[in-house]
Chains A and B, each alone.
Chain A
């Protein structure tokens, strides 16, 4: 049986609710609704916190102080920014494709939030522990390219169009090596189920068994989430802000939030797939270990982002197709041989 703290708490709530509600279905639905509310709170809340964290980390790397005016030590800065963005005028440019243009910022948030359902936060604490979990995650994340392309196409701006085209190109070039890198993990586990993948790392984390896959995944994840140094989609010194050049106020803020939600989700994926998920020494609950690992990965991604110059699009595509993909394929081969040798021993 599972022994994650959140799982146990949920069980307690379930038992407490059962006599009140009377029916098991209603209890399940209530728990589900609670969970969804929590998840959205987590995604938006973390985006707010990460905005501040990003700026503080960036300031630390750049020998600056960072925001320190709003609230104690600048902690309320992202809230103030949010309020400012909400109160801003919503400028609608001329000659746009209205439907696509309005839908794009709304849709951008869907894949970012949806994949949280497949993340195991603790032992037994997973929203939808489907048996094709990893496959579903990859399928959903690759959908995030569509809102970018929609926004870029609909904006009636050349900068936005270039940005939209770049998204597709980089998406194609990096989704393939990423999937092949994760093949190694799946081969070791023998399952696509997220909880099973974490379960399999009880003794040894996959970062030890799959170092190559780990590195490939890190690079590909940075690309997928448009983090620097791979942020060519927005590439602010070349194409202003790419697909969201023409967006203002709240619409722009949604793109912005999605970006930070993506940062969190790639950190969670790295933790789950390679760093043993909730596993850790006994003195802390699994939930806390999970949070610590995720935070470290967030910091690592930010550190990478703030130290490197941006890549050029052709270098980046060449790197994806001609370097990462062969390495990922070799990794699959090596893993296969490794498993065969291990079984034979």
Chain B
């Protein structure tokens, strides 16, 4: 797999102040602050010398005290990869701007991330639950998740918070 070259990295770093490059992991990643990430993604996509035009993968990880949004971008033209990560420090009320303005195809994946991880996407065209029931009141992929109990009350399915945690 090819990743960003040193010159490109230098260029990006000079443009975006908050970008940090971490190549100690299995796959190197660009860490960027929430204030700049949209501009960074836009320039990664639109600059001809970079042209990371495909959002290959998109997800969020719950690290217990913060969330991390992961964008795996692929450039068809140069057969090159870059991973962009954004940390969301506010674990109780995670919010981030939607990237549907840049990649419209991220629509379902963002809805899925909202549904399972509970991250709110601003400016998303239709941010509703996609896999879980509409009235479900928990976010299953979070690490502190406790499954809700389904009960039928008066012919309606209602989800209850479990009373005891065994």
Q: Do A and B come into direct contact in the complex, CB within 8 Å?
A: no
Write the residues of chain B forming the contact surface with A, with a CB cutoff of 8 angstroms. none
